[in-house]
Structure 1
Amino acid sequence: MSDTSGWGPQPGTHGWHQHHNPHGWYPNPWGPPPPPPPKPGVIPLAPLGVDQILGGAFATMRRYAKPLFGPALAAYAVLAVVMVAAFGIAYATTRDDVDALGAQATFSWEHGGPILIAFGSLWALGALGALAVNSFVQATCAATLHEAVLGRPTTFRAVCRRAWSRTPAVAAVTLLLAFVLMLPVGAFALFLFSFVAMLLTQSLIPIGLVFLLLLVVIPLAAWLYVLFAFAPAAAVLETAGPLTALRRSVRLVRGAWWRTFGISLLAGVIVTIASLVFQLPLQFTAPEPRPADPNTSASTVLLDQLRSQSGLYALVGLLGTLLTQLIAAVFLPLVTALLYIDRRIRTEGLAHTLHTAA
């Protein structure tokens, strides 16, 4: 059986579970209680509740830690090495311009232009690298979940091979989702700009219009984001192209938008709480910088503050931040992919196909 067997669209099976009951796990008021649904992997092969979706994500992280976190760690490590090397090259090529610009009282395009070009290119490289890495990590989550649902073992190499082949499709979908998220960000930036304009002109019209724009854009962005949320999972589990994956997501989310939104929001809240549980104790135990002397230069004060944040405290804080970011990067796509599987179980009878495959 191929890796993709049983995961493509199931034509003619819409509402299958509502008319057939081959395993007897749906309620039967006239007989003995039905047996539990089969559970070859991390979730039962039946419509999933919130506890089963979240529990399935945690179980996948626990049982498949190596093929799940290994590729993510490797991808982020490669991105970090590339960005550090690119930063070193950018600084080395513009060092003389940086020194010359720092010695001038006013900005000069003669020295500022090369700096902007070099570090603008660095930012573009970082954005493309982040897109590729995040898309690859999302693909590894779906590829690992493919085996976790069926209860089959998998390896680091197998997950990487399958995820890499689907990364371009996931990246195309991620670009669209990033554009959707940029709508409220851009509207908020416009709101701040209009607020400054109001302070300067004493006019309430600009900020009032932008506030109305925010009220429209934020719900629209949330609606679109949830509507396309299943596209990365469809791109991997169904080997669908970007446009096909987007259409599949819209079809599956239809009729379950609020449920998808609520469970995704709950997963985000869990990640936020876990991050705060780690970061708040560090905030309270942060070492105090030495009192600043009024006669001390600003650069010396800044250096003292950096030194006070270095050492073991900085190492623990950095490792903790990386760990929480890694968990978030894996946990949220797993929850979304499980929601995708749940919708297919409910609307396409995927449970029977998965039970046969397992």
Structure 2
Amino acid sequence: MPPKPGVIPLGPLRLGDIFGGSFATIGRYGKQLFAIGAAVYGGALAVVVVAAAIAYSAVADPLDRLFALRADEDPRSQDLTAVLVALGLVALLGLVAMVVATAIIYAAVPAVLQEAVLGRPTTFSDIWRRAWSRMPAVFGAVFLTCLIAMIPIVLAWAGFVALIIGLFAMDGGGSAVLAVVGVLGALATAPLGIWLWVKFALAPSVAVFENQGPIASMRRSAQLVRGDWWRIFGITLLASMIAGVASYLIQLPFSLLGMFSGMLGSANLGDDPNPASILVAMSGYVLALMIGQLVGQLVVAIFPPLVTGLLYVDRRIRTENLGPVLAEAAAVPPQYMV
């Protein structure tokens, strides 16, 4: 039997070993993982809240005029433009904050696994320093992977839109061409996007474990995935489904609590509420949803990368005989080296 100094045996991993190791890592290093997740996603949420408050103060007057419009009145173009620009800037800032937070998590999880596989203790500060130092490389790998994989996905969506247009506007050969383009575009590009996503799925782990740059990490991931694409695809998909279900179950009570709080707040509104009173009345609902989303996001952000990181370790054990090296690093006695 291979030695097991940490969360996994240092031999080829079965499905149970990978998921068991992921849950064991959460159990042993949950404080570090969830503390980093809460810090980065809480920080991203705080950035969005502050940006939304600044945006609201900047467009309060146009927003009041829009809320005060009667059904037969048209909004002023200046008011609409100001509100839309403010919303767009807040959304863009929120997207950037979430991407940076996710990149830090994707760097922190392999940093934790480096110690978890060897059974060594670690601290929040150690993981944070390691994750922050590797965040640019992980961000680059994730961004390039998304960019490459999104090209066929965007084409697939364009094909589906063309198909829908063709179905609702059957006026001859033009609609038939649109329908064919839609079907062929979806069939040809969606599988390519999935294939590329799995091909580069191990790139964040490579960037942390091997200190590689974004391009080198993607190239290395493609090398490790070769010959085991379907297994990695299936395990990754299963991990994402488990995380999605867990996130939904976590957010459900927060949503119910928010709905109850929103109903209580709405009952106190007068016959002609202003925007400020509406925001105050719905603040409990929004706060509950934000907390639920934050907790659920922690599960979604942490569990799949843990599984992917262990898949990376498994591939190196299978193809590069990494087990004895890890056993030596964990200071396993020689008689257990097999």
Same fold, TM exceeding 0.5?
Answer: yes
Residue 198 of structure 2 is matched in structure 1 by 226
Report how far residue 161 of structure 1 moved: 0.4
Q: TM-score, normalised by structure 2?
A: 0.82
Do structure 1's residue 192 and structure 2's residue 157 form an aligned pair? no
Measured against aligned partners, the alpha-carbon deviations of 1:275-299 in whole angstroms (never above 9, x if no partner) come to 4555678889976979xxxxx9998
Greater alpha carbon shift after TM alignment, 114-123 vs 167-176: 114-123
Report how far residue 268 of structure 1 moved: 1.6
Aligned partner (choices 100, 103, 107) of residue 132 of structure 1: 100
Residue 122 of structure 1 is matched in structure 2 by 90
Do structure 1's residue 326 and structure 2's residue 294 form an aligned pair? no
* Structure 1 gap segments, 5+ residues each: 1-35, 291-295
Do structure 1's residue 49 and structure 2's residue 14 form an aligned pair? yes
SS in 2 for 1:41: coil
Residue 334 of structure 2 is matched in structure 1 by none
Residue 59 of structure 2 is matched in structure 1 by 94
* Structure 2 gap segments, 5+ residues each: 265-269, 331-338
Residue 64 of structure 1 is matched in structure 2 by 29
Measured against aligned partners, the alpha-carbon deviations of 1:216-241 in whole angstroms (never above 9, x if no partner) come to 12111100000000000001111100
Paired with 1:205 and 1:108, the residues of 2 have a C-alpha distance of 41
Paired with 1:66 and 1:84, the residues of 2 have a C-alpha distance of 26
- Tell me, yes or no, if the aligned pair for 2:163 and 2:179 is still in contact at 8 Å: yes
Q: Structure 2 vs 1, CA of residues 289 and 192 (structure 1 numbering), >3 Å: closer, same or farther?
A: farther
- Tell me, yes or no, if the aligned pair for 2:207 and 2:217 is still in contact at 8 Å: yes
Aligned partner (choices 112, 115, 119) of residue 147 of structure 1: 115
Residue 13 of structure 1 is matched in structure 2 by none
Residue 74 of structure 2 is matched in structure 1 by 106
Query: What does residue range 70-85 of structure 1 map to in structure 2 within 5 Å?
Result: 70-85=35-50
Report how far residue 173 of structure 1 moved: 1.2
Do structure 1's residue 40 and structure 2's residue 5 form an aligned pair? yes
Q: Structure 2 vs 1, CA of residues 170 and 119 (structure 1 numbering), >3 Å: closer, same or farther?
A: same
Greater percentage in helix: 2
- Tell me, yes or no, if the aligned pair for 1:131 and 1:174 is still in contact at 8 Å: no
Aligned partner (choices 104, 112, 124) of residue 156 of structure 1: 124
Bigger relative contact order, structure 1 or 2 (CA pairs below 8 A, ≥6 apart): 1
- Tell me, yes or no, if the aligned pair for 1:232 and 1:245 is still in contact at 8 Å: yes
For residue 68 of structure 1, what is the amino acid of its counterpart? L
Report how far residue 193 of structure 1 moved: 5.8
Report how far residue 42 of structure 1 moved: 0.5
Q: Structure 2 vs 1, CA of residues 93 and 282 (structure 1 numbering), >3 Å: closer, same or farther?
A: closer
- Tell me, yes or no, if the aligned pair for 1:187 and 1:210 is still in contact at 8 Å: yes
For residue 122 of structure 1, what is the amino acid of its counterpart? V
Paired with 1:324 and 1:111, the residues of 2 have a C-alpha distance of 36
Paired with 2:21 and 2:157, the residues of 1 have a C-alpha distance of 36
Paired with 1:310 and 1:98, the residues of 2 have a C-alpha distance of 18
Report how far residue 199 of structure 1 moved: 1.8
Do structure 1's residue 217 and structure 2's residue 189 form an aligned pair? yes
Report how far residue 204 of structure 1 moved: 3.8
Residue 29 of structure 1 is matched in structure 2 by none
Percentage identity across aligned positions? Answer: 42
Measured against aligned partners, the alpha-carbon deviations of 1:166-222 in whole angstroms (never above 9, x if no partner) come to 111111111123221464256325523651464245434313311221111211110
Query: How many equivalent residue pairs?
Result: 314
Aligned partner (choices 226, 232, 240) of residue 260 of structure 1: 232
Do structure 1's residue 175 and structure 2's residue 143 form an aligned pair? yes
- Tell me, yes or no, if the aligned pair for 1:181 and 1:225 is still in contact at 8 Å: no
Residue 4 of structure 1 is matched in structure 2 by none
Residue 269 of structure 1 is matched in structure 2 by 241
Paired with 2:141 and 2:8, the residues of 1 have a C-alpha distance of 27
Measured against aligned partners, the alpha-carbon deviations of 1:302-328 in whole angstroms (never above 9, x if no partner) come to x99x97x986x9877665543332112
Q: Structure 2 vs 1, CA of residues 274 and 192 (structure 1 numbering), >3 Å: closer, same or farther?
A: same
Residue 314 of structure 2 is matched in structure 1 by 342
SS in 2 for 1:342: helix
Paired with 1:207 and 1:289, the residues of 2 have a C-alpha distance of 46
Residue 267 of structure 2 is matched in structure 1 by none
**Aligned-residue CA RMSD (Å):** 3.1
Q: Structure 2 vs 1, CA of residues 284 and 82 (structure 1 numbering), >3 Å: closer, same or farther?
A: closer
Paired with 1:264 and 1:90, the residues of 2 have a C-alpha distance of 39
Q: Structure 2 vs 1, CA of residues 182 and 329 (structure 1 numbering), >3 Å: closer, same or farther?
A: farther
Residue 357 of structure 1 is matched in structure 2 by 329
Measured against aligned partners, the alpha-carbon deviations of 1:31-53 in whole angstroms (never above 9, x if no partner) come to xxxxx111111111111111001
